[in-house]
Amino acid sequence: MNNAQRTYFIKQLASQTGFNYCGIARASKLDEDARRLEQWLDKGLQGSMKYMENYFDLRVDPTKLMPGAKSVITLLLNYFPAEQQHNNDLKISKYAYGKDYHEVIKEKLNFMLQSIKENIGEVNGRGFVDSAPVLERSWAVKSGLGWVGKNGNLINKMNGSYFFIATLIIDLDLDYDDPFVKDFCGTCTKCIDACPTNAIMEDKVINGSKCISYFTIELKEMLIPEEMKGKFDNWMFGCDTCQDVCPWNRFAKPTNEIAFTPIPEILNFTTNNWEEITTESFKKIFQNSPLKRAKLNGIKRNLKFINNV
C-alpha cells in the first residue's frame, strides 16, 4: 500500500469499528499548546488534579510518548443518548449513562491496531483514552475534526460536542488532514452565561477547580467548599450545562453504540432511591459504569451537598 491507500484503509477501519469521525495529523511537538498548558498549571486551575502536572513533556510531544511516532490518528465516538433522565431532581452527565467509555474505546483501539498490523504490516502504535497524557482536543483540531469552543470542549460542526475523543499514535507515514482553522462560536456566550459556578473564563480557559464535574468526580476530599452551596443545579455526577446550552448541539444525534445504552437506574432513580442504595447494590448496578469512579461514598457526599444536609 502507498500512503493514500493506507490512509483510506485506516479511515474505513475506523468507521467499521464504530467511530463517527477520524482525522489524521503529523506527529510533532505542540509548542503553542505547551505554553497554554504551562500557563494553566501555573495559575493552579487544575485544583487537586495533580496528575495534570505529571508527564508534561509527554503531553506536548507524541514522539516522546511513543518513540518513532509519525502519525496521530484522532477518533470521535458519539455518546449522545436517545433517552434522557426522567427525574431531574438529581442529574448525571450524559457521558456516564452507559458502560464506562474507557473500556469500550480501549477495545476498539486494540482492534484497530491489530487490524492495521494484519493488513499493512509491522506497525508500532499505542492507543489512548483521556486517562493518558495526550492533548486530545489539540490533535482533533490539527486533524480537522472541529474547533475548541469557549467551554473548552471540541465542537464538531456537523454534530456538536457530545463525543469521546480517542487517540492512536503509530510509526507510519500517512496522508494528513488539514487543520480546522475557523472558530464558529462567534460572539455567542451561552456557555459562559449558563455555567453555574462561573468556571468558564476568557480565551477558552476553564478553571478546573471551580467546575461542577471537578467537585462531583475528581475531588476526593469528603468536604465540598461551602461557597459552592446552592450552585450545583442538582448535578450529582458531572455537569452538562455548558454543552446543553450550546447551539451547535442542536445537531447532536443519538449514538449507535450499544454499550452506551443508558443503565435503567440512571434514567429512573429518584432521590429516595439514591439515598437508600446499599454498597452491595451500587457495586452490582454500576460495576461497569463511570459512576464507580466516584464510589458510593462520593455519590452520597454529592447528594448531601446538593440537598444541604
Q: Mean pLDDT in the chain?
A: 91
Q: Are residues 63 and 127 in the same domain?
A: yes
Asked if residue 120 lies in contact with residue 172, where contact means CB atoms within 8 angstroms, the answer is yes
Of 135, 170, 205, the domain-final residue: 170
Q: Is 130 a catalytic residue?
A: yes
Q: Say what the pLDDT of residue 223 is.
A: 84
- Element (H or E) spanning 237, and its range? strand 235-237
Q: Say what the pLDDT of residue 153 is.
A: 94
Q: Are residues 219 and 281 in the same domain?
A: yes
> In terms of pLDDT, which residue wins out, 271 or 218?
271
The stretches of 189-236 forming alpha helices (DSSP H) are 190-194, 212-213
Task: Encode pLDDT of 9-42 as tens digits.
Answer: 999 999 999 999 999 999 998 867 666 666 665 6
Task: Encode pLDDT of 193-217 as tens digits.
Answer: 999 999 998 888 888 889 999 999 9
Q: Are residues 125 and 269 in the same domain?
A: no
Q: Are residues 236 and 289 in the same domain?
A: yes
Q: Judge whether 257 lies within some domain.
A: no
Task: Please name the amino acid found at residue 107.
Answer: E
Q: Judge whether 238 lies within some domain.
A: yes
Q: Judge whether 180 lies within some domain.
A: no
Q: Are residues 160 and 129 in the same domain?
A: yes
> In terms of pLDDT, which residue wins out, 98 or 131?
98
Q: Judge whether 205 lies within some domain.
A: yes
Q: Are residues 76 and 203 in the same domain?
A: no
Q: Are residues 148 and 78 in the same domain?
A: yes
**Domain encompassing residue 220:** 190-251+262-306
Q: Judge whether 76 lies within some domain.
A: yes
Q: Are residues 143 and 15 in the same domain?
A: yes
Write down the residue that cell numbers 458531572 correspond to. 238
Q: Are residues 120 and 223 in the same domain?
A: no
Domain count along the chain: 2
Q: Are residues 137 and 242 in the same domain?
A: no
Q: What is the pTM assigned to this prediction?
A: 0.92
Q: Say what the pLDDT of residue 48 is.
A: 54
Q: Say what the pLDDT of residue 13 is.
A: 98
Nearest Cα to 59, choosing from 84, 79, 33, 80? 33
Task: Encode pLDDT of 229-242 as tens digits.
Answer: 999 999 999 999 99
Task: Encode pLDDT of 276-295 as tens digits.
Answer: 999 999 999 999 999 998 99
Confidence of residue 61 (pLDDT cuts 50, 70, 90): confident
Confidence of residue 45 (pLDDT cuts 50, 70, 90): low
Q: Judge whether 184 lies within some domain.
A: no
The stretches of the chain forming alpha helices (DSSP H) are 3-17, 31-42, 56-60, 62-65, 101-120, 136-142, 190-194, 212-213, 241-244, 264-268, 271-276, 279-285, 295-306
Q: Judge whether 87 lies within some domain.
A: no
CA 152 from centroid of its chain's CA atoms: 11
Catalytic residue among 130, 171, 175, 233: 130
Give the whole-angstrom CA distance, residue 208 versus residue 185. 21
Q: Judge whether 206 lies within some domain.
A: yes
Asked if residue 109 lies in contact with residue 166, where contact means CB atoms within 8 angstroms, the answer is yes
Q: Are residues 296 and 225 in the same domain?
A: yes
Of 117, 142, 170, the domain-final residue: 170
Q: Are residues 13 and 155 in the same domain?
A: yes
